[in-house]
Amino acid sequence: MKPDDIATAITQALVQGGSQWLVATIVAFLPAMWTMTLILHLGRPYVIRTLRRCGLRLGADIWWMSYLLMRDAVLLITFAMSFIFFQPSIVANSALPITGPLAALCLLIALAVKLSRRADDDVQAYRIVTAFLVVGATLYYGPLVFAVEAASQTYLAGFGQAFTSNSNVGPALVIMWISLVGVGIVAIWLFIRALVSANRTMAQRIKPPQKQAPVLGD
Amino acid sequence: MSVQDLTNAIIDGITAGGEQFLEGTLAAILPAVWLALLGLHLGRPYILEMIDRFTLRLGADLLWLVYIAVRDLLIVSGVVMSFMFFFPDVVVTDALPLTGGLAAVCLFAVLLVKLMGDPDHNLRDFRLVTYLLGLGAVFYFVPYLFGVQFSSIAPASFAGVSNFLVTNTNPNWAIGIGYASTALLAILGAVAAAYVLRTGGRAEAQDTAAQDTAGTI
């Protein structure tokens, strides 16, 4: 083998291996992101309890703002990272949880509920968000722990084969396309809602102030 | 060997090496996280003493908030980083502490007590958190020191015990403990979800010390 061949092999390996490494890193970090999402969402009563003990408004505001920013940013980043579940080639070639796309859809619905209702003031909305997050986490963790990360366990071989995307490609792609349609519907709804809301609020702002009727005697 | 063979070999090396590097880094950082969270939990009286010396309420509030934020984020990070103990393939392949999964369950139980109780104002809850952290530290550090770190230099008389405490040299126990930890974690998670669904995310625990300053017991 000539030096040029080795250089070509290393270049190809860095390009292909780099993309595989990126996907593998996202897959490796997703459980951590899901766990953070759940813990931060479920930890709200503790955060409020701490908030109530703050003697000054400033401390309470900083505490609440930090919590909200972290909780919602983690939720959003987890959904963004879950987008690998909607790429057919990755779903077909990499070992991913087969219900990962449905878990991502649940995350997006939770985000949509947060956007459309005041989940921090409306108990019912908070419960809906919690339910979607718990269902999404179950759909993610179940196949991950007992299928994708249990390939060495012979007694789980059947479950592992059924719930890993690259060993059960047909159903995996069907689940992916169905979830993608769901994501599309939710995204379109969010888009229309944002437009309608912007039109309404901005129209009020642009509207010229009504002239006051002249007072008698002016 | 063709160019494609060499390419495939390098790709395998990058991905497998990268995965092992990530798991190795997490395993190496976890003892530091454990020590830091134990130090912060046990250092609570020191923080309270400092708070008493503040002449300005703002400084006292900020110190207390930063303290509990760092302390609790470390506990959350500990749970998140311990997730590898629940993956059978990782447990069988890597040299990890045998009872690391149970240590992670203890950490999660601490979070559950903080969620449902009030360990910063209720003595019973504070004691419970301290016991759970102590138990978790034993579950983590005993197999880590006497198994993972000691196995390579252990004399023959201790080699058996040392290998028993490491997951990849004792895969049957490791898998069993991993599944038990997963079940416990699932139960605790279900309890947390049920509590939050019932309360609707509000702070339900009785405000025993509404007039208290931060952190008084």
Chain A residues touching residue B68 (CB < 8 angstroms): 50
DSSP tag of B210: T
Q: Residue B51 corresponds to which tokens in the numbers above?
A: 């708070």
pLDDT tens profile A61-118: 888 999 999 999 999 999 999 989 998 988 998 889 999 999 999 999 999 999 888 8
Q: Give, as one character, the DSSP assignment of residue B147.
A: I
B17 Cα to chain A: minimum distance (Å): 10
CB contact under 8 A, B61 and A131: no
- How many Å from the N-terminal Cα to the C-terminal Cα in chain B? 71
In a domain, B167, yes or no: yes
B1, B60, B68 member nearest A50 (Cβ) = B68
Interface test with B, best of A49, A63, A74 (most B CBs within 10 A): A49
Contact between B60 and B216 (Cβ < 8 Å): no
A25-52: average pLDDT? 90
Residues above pLDDT 70, as percent of chain A: 94
Nearest-CA residue of chain B relative to A34? B80
Q: Indicate whether B13 belongs to any domain.
A: no
- Please judge whether A42 and B68 are an interchain contact, meaning their C-beta atoms are less than 8 angstroms apart: no
DSSP annotation of B83: G
Residues of chain A contacting residue B18, judged by C-beta atoms under 8 Å apart: 21, 24-25
Query: Predicted confidence band at B192 (pLDDT cuts at 50, 70, 90)?
Result: very high
Asked whether residue A98 is assigned to any structural domain, the reply reads: yes
Per mean pLDDT, which of A51-60, A155-164, B7-16, B208-217 is the most reliable?
A155-164
Please report the pLDDT score of residue A207 as a whole number: 67
Interchain CB distance below 8 Å, A151 and B89: yes
Q: Which residues of A touch B82 (CB under 8 A)?
A: none
Global pTM value: 0.83
- Supply the range of the domain harboring residue B116: 29-199
Count: domains in chain A: 1
CA–CA min distance B157, chain A (Å): 31
A-chain CB neighbours of B21 within 8 Å are none
Residue A34 has pLDDT above 70, yes or no: yes
pLDDT tops 60 at residue B163: yes
**B6 to A153: CB separation less than 8 angstroms, yes or no:** no
Contacts of A23 (CB under 8 A, 6+ apart): A84, A90, A94
CB A110 within 8 A of CB A129: yes
pLDDT at residue number A215: 58
- DSSP, collapsed to helix, strand or coil, labels residue B122 as coil
User: How many A/B residue pairs have CB atoms within 8 Å?
Assistant: 158
pLDDT for B10 beyond 60: yes
Closest residue in chain B to residue A23, using alpha carbons only: B15
3-state secondary structure A134-168: HHHHHHHHHHHHHCHHHCCCHHHHHHHHHHEHHHC
User: Could you tell me how far CA A9 lies from the centroid of its own chain?
Assistant: 37
Instruction: Give the long-range contacts of residues B6-9, CB within 8 A, separation 24 or more.
Output: B6/A1, B6/A5, B6/A6, B6/A9, B6/A13, B7/A9, B7/A12, B7/A13, B7/A16, B8/A13
pLDDT value, residue A112 = 93
Q: Is the pLDDT of residue A142 over 60?
A: yes
Q: Which of B15, B61, B87 sits opposite A55 (nearest CB)?
A: B61
Are the beta carbons of A52 and B207 separated by less than 8 Å? yes
- For residue A138, being part of any structural domain is answered with yes
* In a domain? residue A28: yes
CB-CB neighbors (< 8 A) of A63 in chain B: 65, 69
Chain B residues in contact with A25 by the CB 8 A cut-off are 18, 22
Tokens matching residue A99 = 């219900």
Contact A129, A148 (CB under 8 A): no
Q: Do B7 and A12 touch (CB under 8 A)?
A: yes
Among candidates A18, A32, A152 on the partner chain, residue whose Cβ is nearest the Cβ of B92: A152
Residue B23 scores a pLDDT above 60: yes
Residues of B in contact with A8 (CB under 8 A): 3
Q: How far apart are CA A100 and CA B187, in angstroms?
A: 22
Distance in angstroms (rounded) separating the CA atoms of residues A173 and A88: 7
Cβ-Cβ contacts under 8 Å, A40 against chain B? 76
In a domain, A1, yes or no: no
Residue B210 has pLDDT above 50, yes or no: no
Q: What is the pLDDT of residue A18?
A: 77
* CA distance linking residue B61 with residue A153, whole number of Å: 51
A100 CB-near residues (< 8 Å, 6+ apart): A82, A85, A139, A140, A143, A165
Q: Of A87, A103, A104, A108, which Cα lies nearest the Cα of A22?
A: A87
Rounded to the nearest integer, the mean pLDDT of chain B is 87
Which residue did the predictor score with more confidence, B52 or B174? Answer: B174
| Residue of B128, B123, B101 lying closest to B112 (CA atoms) | B128
Q: What is the pLDDT of residues B125-140, one digit of tens each?
A: 999 999 999 999 999 9
- In this model, does residue B183 exceed pLDDT 80? yes
Give SS3 for B51: helix
The tally of CA atoms less than 13 A away on the side-chain side of residue A151 is: 11
Tell me how many domains chain B contains: 1
Query: Per the domain annotation, does B20 fall within a domain?
Result: no
Find the mean pLDDT for residues B5-32. Answer: 81
B78-82 CB contacts, 8 Å cutoff, 24+ apart: B78/B30, B78/B33, B78/B34, B78/B37, B78/B104, B78/B107, B79/A35, B79/A39, B79/B104, B79/B107, B79/B108, B79/B111, B80/A32, B80/A35, B80/A36, B80/A39, B81/A32, B81/B26, B81/B29, B81/B30, B81/B33, B82/B30, B82/B107
The larger pLDDT score, comparing residue B113 to residue A211, is at: B113
Distance from CA of B132 to the nearest CA of A (A): 18
User: What residue in A sits closest to B14 (Cα-Cα)?
Assistant: A17
Q: Is the pLDDT of residue A39 over 50?
A: yes
Whether residue A180 contacts residue A101, with contact meaning beta carbons closer than 8 Å, is answered with: yes
Residue A40 in any domain: the answer is: yes
In a domain, B209, yes or no: no
For residue B192, which residues of chain A lie inside 8 Å, CB to CB? 42
Residue % of chain B over a pLDDT of 70: 94
Provide the 10 A C-beta neighbour count for residue B196: 25
Where in the sequence is the domain holding A146, given as residue range(s)?
A: 20-197
Q: Contact B10/A149, CB-based, under 8 Å?
A: no
Say how far apart CA A87 and CA B214 lie, in whole Å. Answer: 49
Helix (H) / strand (E) element for A122: namely: none
How many angstroms separate the CA atoms of B82 and A55, rounded? 35
Q: Chain B: give the shortest CA distance to residue A65, in Å.
A: 12
Q: What integer pLDDT is reported at residue A177 of this predicted model?
A: 95
- The pLDDT of A191-195, averaged and rounded, is 88
